[in-house]
Amino acid sequence: MEVNIYIPHPALQEYVLNIATVNVVVPEGIQDVVTPYPPTPFQSLMFYCNNAISMGRIEDENFSKQPLTVLIGPQYSRVNIKVHRQLSAIRVDFLPGGMYRMLGIPMLELFDRGFDAYDFFGAEMKRINEQLQHISNLEEGKNIVEKFLLNQIKNLKEITPFDFALRILMNNSGNMPIEKIASLSCLSLKQFERKCKERIGMNPKMYARILKFSKAYRMHESAPQLRWTEIAYEAEYYDQMHMIKDFKTFAGVNPSVIERQLLSTPLRMQKDLRL
């Protein structure tokens, strides 16, 4: 699995965090590979340049083939991802509130779901999908996607102190008092909570939990030799039991089970994510 992360064009950096290219070739003799994918703190756009993945919920053995471009709203539940033979994709991760600023749609309406991006962008997305099926390399595809994002700037909602405050919370992996983040956003606590539901699709305490959980999960994917006690400490959990509780909520299983599940697949889909 090869992942390249690009710093977005300067004009995009107030609403886009990262643009990444992803190339996966399933080992010879294997048709499909399934891997767990717990929630991340991002709202994202995923562009598939060849075979789209299939996705299934943890409680359901059925998988559904995804559209060529998927708009991923605020995530809460784990899914399982099935990669077919080869995956070539471009992923755009938005800063907190960035997707809301681009679409103008309350993120609560997109909560815990993925959507066909064609439904939001119409003919423009169809044209981009067609271009991406004929690229010679993924960097070329990245440039096509970046041009699309630059064209969205004219529609962006105004940036506010809220957006800067949520970026500080993200940079601290959720380990800051919510009252302090509300103060940085120049809002009362109740106003801040309402704004969170509109712009990131959930209350701030839940978002902070997902930030902290995501750090712990990504640490395990990238450094599986670390003990869970070390990961709990590095992610600044109060104790290991609090981390286990978050794994059961967001990964659907405790850490030892997700560890065994990852041992059964060659893919680590989140170890290269960057906050």
Q: Which residues contact 186 (CB under 8 A, 6 or more apart)?
A: 161, 162
Instruction: Write out pLDDT tens, residues 11-64.
Output: 999 999 999 999 998 888 888 999 999 999 999 999 999 889 999 998 778 999
Show the tokens assigned to 28.
């010879």
**What is the pLDDT at residue 30?**
86
Hey, where are the domains in the chain?
Answer: 2-155, 161-204, 213-263
**What is the pLDDT at residue 28?**
83
> Under a CB-based contact definition with an 8 Å cutoff, are residues 41 and 126 in contact?
no
**What is the pLDDT at residue 29?**
82
**What is the pLDDT at residue 96?**
97
**What is the pLDDT at residue 3?**
94
**What is the pLDDT at residue 223?**
95
Ordered mean pLDDT values, 10 residues apiece, the chain (275 residues):
94 96 89 94 95 89 94 96 93 97 97 96 96 95 97 95 97 96 96 97 97 97 96 95 97 96 93 89
**What is the pLDDT at residue 27?**
83
Angle at 264 between CA 224 and CA 48, to 5 degrees: 90
Q: Look up the CATH superfamily of 2-155.
A: Jelly Rolls (2.60.120.10)
> Under a CB-based contact definition with an 8 Å cutoff, are residues 114 and 167 in contact?
no
**What is the pLDDT at residue 150?**
97
